[in-house]
Chain A
């Protein structure tokens, strides 16, 4: 029962470096999401993908790019990391459609940009 798997769990970057956060789900879900969590701000949506081949911006997309590689995988890329991107990043997935369709989360990636 892997669910949603995120790698890495921890990362430290220097300002200007790039990196890709990986996310994979094994629940055959259509939709996948990237959120960031900052103290006192709750979870804010960066990008999402309603289905394979589509991506849409969320509330805070600046400085990020995403790729929906296939149905299972949705990656988040920071091209030139900034200290303001220090945060905890969560990937999530769910089945498309109305109703309960619970959104499941990965364990998170704690990123520090120095």
Chain B
């Protein structure tokens, strides 16, 4: 069974600083995808970044990057130059590929607060 662990219930970061949100996963499927979503206080789920298990390079999307360490089964989200608008819940999620059309499984999330 797949499993996603986010060990930081809450994080604080100073504006303009970088922050790393941790995510570890557990799967026996060699082919999988890892996703990060942002949920601001308004409640919508916003896709941020994707990493495939066979991707050679770490994914980047603007100020977001994914620190993918396959051997350690970790997929940490790095946000550079934090902004006040980055304050939100962040969810790590995974989908296995070889097991069929499996749905995304989510971690419990990390609440990030950016301080001015």
Contact = CB atoms under 8 A, between A and B. Distances in A.
Given A42-B91, A42-B109, A43-B91, A102 B47 contact: yes
A16 interface: no
A108 B52 contact: no
B101 to A, nearest CB: 4
A10 B105 CA distance: 25
A75 B19 CA distance: 39
* Residue among A41, A90, A105 with max Cβ neighbours from chain B (10 Å): A105
Nearest to B37: A105
Interface residues of B, number: 22
Contact of A103 (B9, B35, B43): B35
Contact of B103 (A40, A48, A107): A48
Interface in A23-54: 31, 33, 35, 40-45, 48, 50
A78 interface: no
Contacts of B97: 98
Contact of B44 (A42, A50, A103, A107): A107
A64 interface: no
Which of A44, A92, A99 has the largest number of chain B CB atoms within 10 A? Answer: A99
Contact of B106 (A43, A99, A107): A43
Closest 5 CB pairs of A and B: A105-B45, A42-B108, A43-B106, A50-B101, A42-B106
Interface of B: 6, 9, 31, 33, 35, 43-45, 47, 50, 52, 91, 97, 100-101, 103-109
Given A31-B103, A42-B107, 7 more contacts: A40-B9, A42-B6, A43-B45, A43-B91, A96-B101, A100-B52, A105-B45
